[in-house]
Amino acid sequence: MGRKLPHTPSSQIRTALRRLWLRSRERQAAIKRDKYCCRKCGAKQSKAKGKEIQVEVHHIDGITNWAEIEATIRMFLLVDPEYLKTLCKSCHEKEHE
């Protein structure tokens, strides 16, 4: 068994973000808007045996700031345990008041 890292690996962050994207309302709205068809060639998504076609959603401007996104997640969410404390639900709610 491998050793435990002191922090969440970058690959795990990217995997979680990809899962979020694949289930997002924005992605689903784009697919629905385009009626499950490729906007370039017009191919329609199909699950018919022998004619399987999958459509994907592409960011027009691309995502070029993965390092910045990961750094922001590490800065505000995946912080050192020194900056975290365990609270019950009631006390946690009071902290946010």
pLDDT per position as a tens digit, 36-76? 999 999 999 999 998 899 999 999 999 899 999 999 999 99
Cα distances (angstroms) measured from residue 42 to each of 11, 38, 53: 34, 5, 11
User: Which one-letter amino acid corresponds to residue 73?
Assistant: I
Q: What is the mean pLDDT of residues 19-25?
A: 96
Asked if 17 and 8 count as a contact pair (C-beta separation under 8 A), the reply is no
User: Which one-letter amino acid corresponds to residue 53?
Assistant: I
- Give me the residue spans of the domains in the chain: 10-78
Partners of 37 in the beta sheet? 44
pLDDT bracket for residue 78 (50, 70, 90): very high
Residue 3 has pLDDT above 90, yes or no: no
Tokens of 55: 């459509």
Residue 1 has pLDDT above 60, yes or no: no
Asked if 12 and 5 count as a contact pair (C-beta separation under 8 A), the reply is no
Residue 2 has pLDDT above 80, yes or no: no
pLDDT bracket for residue 7 (50, 70, 90): confident
Dist. CA 16–CA 62, nearest whole Å: 19
